[in-house]
Structure 1
């Protein structure tokens, strides 16, 4: 059953992209009968309904039949970067149990825990901000908005995921929107997923699906291309996600935020000090005067920023003139596009 929202209490009707992802997630190894994927990552722009399926998967692992052998006692931490975010995922699970005429008879639902009524098993809320202890034996882990799991919070994910090795056919499911730092946990998983899908790395246990559009594929200043970009990046557009409501913020918020939240693109910074195109508009031909002193400036890059070398002179008009010989280049960054396994 759906949790809070327009469809509260109604039976779930999976969208095509949700159904396809779940089909992939529950593939099994025909040679062993075991679960194929031990870690999944679904990366989708905001508003496409990525969090509820994570909760439904966790409930199925808590209450469903043993598809991959004996389940023992399911132990399922449901986690996010903060208690508020964890409540979104865990709240969907609680509402699903309370509103379902079937599930309500099999579980006891509390604020931070769901317990099997007849048997051993539980799902419980965890917030990365609070930290966690070693020694758990989770059978499944639901982690939401992992792009916010930065700094010390990354270790919480590591500790919980390491505990899965103690259980047969365990699984971690990550759901997230793109972030702003590819050197974060989510960024590294994003890059790793592309390498797996491209065949550069052989990892049959990692499922990665990313919905988004490639940088530069659409001219967002053109209204028709803006709409086409939104439709291409958002698998729920035209269903419960209202396309016009997604397009409207483009004219109200910084473009880099729109690209990250609504087009599924990773950005290189949380804030931009220049609007798109402002730096390029400064381009022009300048010849330095060999009779005047010249000054050189170098700006190095640490990650995926620009590297710049500029030679400049102070002209007789009091203006600083940079040399047209100055070179600028970017350190390599990954192609961003939708990647299907």
Structure 2
């Protein structure tokens, strides 16, 4: 240790496994920084995982001339929200602004995909300076910059074209998972090449794009940590599930494993978030797990748990859902029995794998629609009219109850998706165990934006079909609305009971059918 910078060396314990500047960084933060938000003005007391992170990220090595320098130039941290990542990043950047001995005239950057996000880390640093008499005495704080002697700490956002002239000595890049390109990252990391020991901290929660630039960084970090790749300049730490790993997102043990600050967090808040949030959002924000396209729609194992040994019988009162196509896709017809919200697949036509010339057998589909209307007590046929307007208009003219439901209407699909999710989660819905429907539900991903959440294919050109899931949503939503508008129907008596092949069948809510017999 004697060859080390004596200011750094005196902070390293005698039993340290390797020399690290992280001990000095940790001690500086605890002596000079205060917390923000709910813990404003309290001294920063690092949690064990935070101290360990700093020690490991700032490990030192000897270069070719025998000097001790930082081993890592890039520290990538993938961590769930509410664990204090932005506060820690702000404190680290203040250390580099004021106490970093590796450089002079330092340029510190708080960066993110958009300026508001970048300001979150910067504003935490600004509040820390204002809360400390020592730091506020030596720093000049302005709206967008903090100055210490000839060094500056400022905010930049994702307009990489305006960041090419930067020469940062230290960077914090926040929430990189939601960036669609690596332009800003490249501009910032390449810009520090002339610095003595530059370091970039990329601290982010996982996101909805397992193929994005942050996911690629995490994937490389996993390979470095496993020994599959060799890159001593990259430090990677994550508490969330590995890319592709399956975990039960409702298990409190998983919550604890994925959140290193869990002991000071509110477990009841996790329970409430798991109940009110979609699985996609919970996995991304509370577990820091990458999920494709926003994750699968229904929680793991939920759909399978709703399967029942039921058979739809002639005369059952139902609402049908229809999602049609004409080539290269699939067409689906589903029914929901009104008395118990049990889902049945009545028809499914899907292109064989590799058959680019396949066309929907439209005559067969029309026959299936007429058969369903003739066999069951169809209170409503909810259908996407696209390319099937003529058929649906003909049926409506014949007196059948048709409701057009354009599935490209966000105002209609978003509440319909939520209604079906709620019915599944509450156990009010069941189904006949159709493997095709299960496959289409498994293919569906939840897309969330400012409009709300709805299911979609993982991308526009995906061959993984979801049409049966869409038809089911149309049918279930229509059935739920019908029951709400006809409250006496849900309580209708069982009109017939019999046993067949060892199973007991009950029929209710279809008095008109039995009157006609």
Q: Same fold (TM over 0.5)?
A: yes
Query: Which structure is higher in RCO with an 8 Å CA cutoff and minimum separation 6?
Result: 1
Aligned: 1:242 with 2:273: no
Residue 237 (structure 2) aligned to one of 186, 192, 209 = 209
Aligned: 1:123 with 2:153: yes
Residue 44 (structure 1) aligned to one of 79, 87, 105 = 79
Offset at residue 277 of structure 1 (A): 4.5
- CA distance in structure 1 between the partners assigned to 2:58 and 2:107 by the alignment: 18
Normalised to the residue count of structure 2, the TM-score between the two structures is 0.52
Which secondary structure does the structure 2 equivalent of 1:72 belong to? coil
- CA distance in structure 2 between the partners assigned to 1:234 and 1:277 by the alignment: 24
- CA distance in structure 1 between the partners assigned to 2:34 and 2:270 by the alignment: 22
Offset at residue 125 of structure 1 (A): 0.8
Aligned: 1:254 with 2:278: yes
- CA distance in structure 1 between the partners assigned to 2:352 and 2:298 by the alignment: 20
CA distance 1:296–1:28, shift in 2 (3 Å): same
Q: Map 1:146-165 to 2 at 5 A.
A: 146-151=176-181, 154-165=182-193
Deviations 1:243-277, CA, capped at 9 Å, x for gaps: 22122111111112111111221101136555655
- CA distance in structure 2 between the partners assigned to 1:271 and 1:265 by the alignment: 10
Aligned: 1:95 with 2:123: no
- CA distance in structure 2 between the partners assigned to 1:60 and 1:199 by the alignment: 31
Residues 212 and 265, structure 1, Cα contact 8 Å, conserved in 2: yes
Aligned to 2:105: 73
Deviations 1:174-222, CA, capped at 9 Å, x for gaps: 10001111221111111111111111100111010001246434373xx
Residue 233 (structure 1) aligned to one of 248, 258, 264 = 258
Aligned to 1:195: 223
- CA distance in structure 1 between the partners assigned to 2:95 and 2:352 by the alignment: 56
Offset at residue 45 of structure 1 (A): 0.7
Residues 166 and 188, structure 2, Cα contact 8 Å, conserved in 1: yes
Listed as ranges, the gaps of 5+ residues in structure 1 are 221-225, 285-293, 301-310, 331-341
- CA distance in structure 2 between the partners assigned to 1:93 and 1:127 by the alignment: 17
Residues 74 and 122, structure 1, Cα contact 8 Å, conserved in 2: yes
Residue 168 (structure 2) aligned to one of 129, 138, 141 = 138
Aligned to 2:115: 83
- CA distance in structure 1 between the partners assigned to 2:285 and 2:254 by the alignment: 13
Residue 264 (structure 1) aligned to one of 288, 304, 308 = 288
Deviations 1:135-191, CA, capped at 9 Å, x for gaps: 22111111111112224xx31221111101121100100100011112211111111
Aligned to 1:64: 99
Aligned to 2:499: none
Aligned to 2:494: none
Residues 35 and 44, structure 2, Cα contact 8 Å, conserved in 1: no
Offset at residue 235 of structure 1 (A): 0.6
CA distance 1:143–1:135, shift in 2 (3 Å): same
- CA distance in structure 2 between the partners assigned to 1:112 and 1:299 by the alignment: 56
Which secondary structure does the structure 2 equivalent of 1:41 belong to? strand
Aligned to 1:29: 61
- CA distance in structure 2 between the partners assigned to 1:12 and 1:160 by the alignment: 28
Residues 231 and 243, structure 1, Cα contact 8 Å, conserved in 2: no
Aligned to 2:351: 297
Aligned: 1:167 with 2:195: yes
Higher share of residues assigned helix: 2
- CA distance in structure 2 between the partners assigned to 1:189 and 1:91 by the alignment: 26
- CA distance in structure 2 between the partners assigned to 1:283 and 1:186 by the alignment: 42
CA distance 1:131–1:242, shift in 2 (3 Å): farther
Aligned to 2:335: none
CA distance 1:295–1:94, shift in 2 (3 Å): closer
Offset at residue 61 of structure 1 (A): 0.9
- CA distance in structure 1 between the partners assigned to 2:206 and 2:249 by the alignment: 20
Offset at residue 295 of structure 1 (A): 6.3
CA distance 1:323–1:271, shift in 2 (3 Å): closer
Offset at residue 25 of structure 1 (A): 1.7
Offset at residue 26 of structure 1 (A): 1.5
Normalised to the residue count of structure 1, the TM-score between the two structures is 0.77
CA distance 1:120–1:61, shift in 2 (3 Å): same
Aligned-residue CA RMSD (Å)? 3.2
Q: Which has the larger radius of gyration?
A: 2
- CA distance in structure 2 between the partners assigned to 1:26 and 1:55 by the alignment: 16
- CA distance in structure 1 between the partners assigned to 2:302 and 2:53 by the alignment: 40
CA distance 1:131–1:279, shift in 2 (3 Å): farther
